Structures are given as C-alpha cells and as structure tokens.
Amino acid sequence: MKTKNFTISLKKLHFICGIVVLAAFFWSCDNTGAIENEVNAIPVNLELDRFDIKFYEGSTKDIPALKTQYPYLFPAQFSDSVWVRRQTDSLQLLLKSAVDKTFPSVTELEKELSHLFQHVQYHFPEQQPPHAISIINNVDYQSKSIYADSLLLISLDTYLGVNHPLYEGIPTYIRQEMDKLYMLPHIAEKIALQLLPTPASRSFLAQMVYYGKIELLKQYFLPHLTPAQRLGYTEAQYQWAEENERYMWQYLIEKQLLFDTDPDLQRRFIAPAPFSKFYLEIDNESPGKIGRWIGAQIVSSYWEQNNASLETVLNTPAQQLFNRSNYKPKR
C-alpha cells in the first residue's frame, strides 16, 4: 500500500510540476505579448528620407538647395564642382542602380525601423526617433550606418547582399554582414553604444561584459531576431560558439586572460575579424568577435540568476556582475 501511495504521489507531483511549467510558459508568453502590445501602441512612424534619390535623380541646379537642406552631407572643403561630377560619375551611377534593384521599395524597411525605435522608446522614453536618411557612400563598410545628433544615416550601398559582384575583393568576414539581414542589428548597436558609456576598466573581462550588455540591449530592441543575427553571425557560427563554449572558457581561465589589460586581446577576441585568435587549431573554425559572444553569455547568466531589470544590468560594474552571474558554460 505504501508503494502504491508513493506512486500516486509521484504522479501527482509530476502533474503539478507540469502545470507549473505550463503556467510559467503561458505567463511568459502573455507577459511578452502584453509588452509588445504596449510597444506597438507607441506612436512612431519613421519615414526614410531618400537623399540618394534626390541627389542622383536631380540636376546640377538642385545642388545648392540640397546643400542648404543637408549641410552635414556636403563638407565645406569641397566645391560644387565635386558634387556635379559625382552626379554623373559612372561608378556612382552603378551603385545607384544596384541600390534601386536591392531596395525597389523601402516601405518594409520603414516599418522595421519604426518598430525598432518603438522598442527603444519603450525602454528609454527620452530617446526620440531620429531623422533617418538613406545615402550612397562609396561602399564605405566601416560606416554602414551613423547615429548621432538626432540623425540616422544609412548607406544603402553597403547592404546589397553578401555575394553582390560589387563587393568582389572585400574580405569574406566583412562581406558577410553587408546584407540587409544585418542592417537593423547594426543600427541597434549604434543606439546601444550611445546609451552605454565605455567601461573605465581596461581588463578583458570588462570589455567582454561591456559588449555583453550591448547584446542585451539589442535583444530588448530587436526581440524578434535570432541571437545569431543580432551579433552578425550565421547560424552555423553561432552553433560553433555554443558547441565550443566550455573549451573557450577553459582557455581564457588557464591563460589568466580575464583580468589582463593587454590591448591586443581586443583585436584577438572583440574586434570584427575573419576568426578569433586562440593560436590553436580551432582558430580557422572560430568566428570573429567571440569575446562579445562570451560576454553575452555572462550577462545573460547574471540577468537570469538575479532576475535583474535592464537598468540594474546596465549599471552593475563588470567585476560585480561577473561574480554574481555564476556563469558556467552550458556544454
């Protein structure tokens, strides 16, 4: 009889646990849905100002008016003759044609940008939507987007697609993110970088945690995107990071790199690169920026372990955050 009662109790316990898990799941879904409803109610209707069309489809007579309307796009050291030549330059017109084919309409992009800034305003009400302007900028992939002084400049010619023939000769790891799939994450990162002051500490741990916080902000701003897309990884690269998390963490601990202030660690593990530099056989398989990925795991662990608010995470110093994260590789 005792055995029977014990069996029944276990069944009841499993049933109750199942109910609790389901309830937590549905509560989470309802809570997320409620937040999205509040986000969608924020009145943001961002329209993309097509400077690229105004400039290249205009005439030389339009240049003085454009200079008055967009003084920040016309450096004073260049005379009007430079802009006149640019309007008819063959390479510029080739870029204009490629942009027209890739972005025949920006209606969907405007919706995505509006939704991004709705999320930004939900979490940071003082952040007003910017004046968004599309430009063509000689495929300057180091300045794909610029966010400053209530302006958002988007170089559409840097988002033509990873295999676009105009990108021939550009390194693969750079070309990978020259796709409109990564446009919103790039813009979200520029916003996050303005919201989060750079850390005073020069330690490698502080740098990893800083970029982990940037990734958390991007998660709040772009909850519908995958972690891989937000970081600029392919799904295969993200999977590699997950599968090798334990080995990477063991390496950092054994080499005592967490509190090292060598600026070369930034180049090896934080900066965009074809691969991360452990100086091991795995290097060629690894994606660049792996320090950012590890930082995101540390910040995520702290966030979950402490049920912390976004404000608390952002304001917690790196050392304290790490100590209270109880971070351990999942695999």
Of 168, 195, 222, the residue that ends a domain is: 195
Q: Are residues 115 and 174 in the same domain?
A: yes
**Phi, psi for 49 (deg, rounded to 5):** -80, 110
Q: What is the pLDDT of residue 26?
A: 38
Domain match, 224 and 288 both: yes
The pLDDT of residue 95 is 98
CA 330 to chain centre: 23
d(CA 151, CA 110): 15
Low-confidence ranges of the chain (pLDDT < 70): 1-32
> How far is residue 101's CA from residue 157's CA, in Å, rounded to a whole number?
11
What's the chain's Rg over C-alpha atoms?
24
Residues 158 and 216 in one domain: no
The residue count of the chain comes to 331
Which of 139, 167, 195 corresponds to the end of one domain?
195
Side-by-side strand order, sheet with 145-148: 49-50, 131-135, 151-155, 145-148
How far from chain centre, in Å, is Cα 72?
Answer: 26
Q: Is residue 20 part of a domain?
A: no
Please, are residues 129 and 44 in contact by the beta-carbon 8 Å criterion? yes
The pLDDT tens digits of the residues spanning 232-264 come to 999 999 999 999 999 999 999 999 999 999 999
Q: Does 44 fall in a domain?
A: no
> Which pLDDT score, from 0 to 100, does residue 31 have?
58
Three-state DSSP class for residue 255: coil
Instruction: Answer yes or no: do 187 and 249 share one domain.
Output: no
Q: Are residues 298 and 185 in the same domain?
A: no
- What confidence score (pLDDT) does residue 331 get? 72
- Can you tell me the distance from the alpha carbon of 83 to that of 287, in angstroms, rounded to the nearest whole number? 40
Residue 22 in any domain: the answer is: no
- The pTM assigned to this predicted structure is 0.89
Query: Same structural domain for residues 57 and 191?
Result: yes
172 with 276, same domain: the answer is no
Is there a single domain that holds both residue 276 and residue 186? no
Tell whether 59 is covered by a domain: yes
Count of structural domains, the chain = 2
pLDDT of 8 reads: 37
The one-letter code for the residue type at 187 is: I
Q: What is the DSSP string of 60-120?
A: GGGHHHHHHH-GGGS-TTS-HHHHHHHHH-HHHHHHHHHHHHH-S--HHHHHHHHHHHHHH
Q: Are residues 112 and 247 in the same domain?
A: no
- Structural domain span for residue 93: 49-195
The reply to whether 158 and 268 lie within a common domain is no
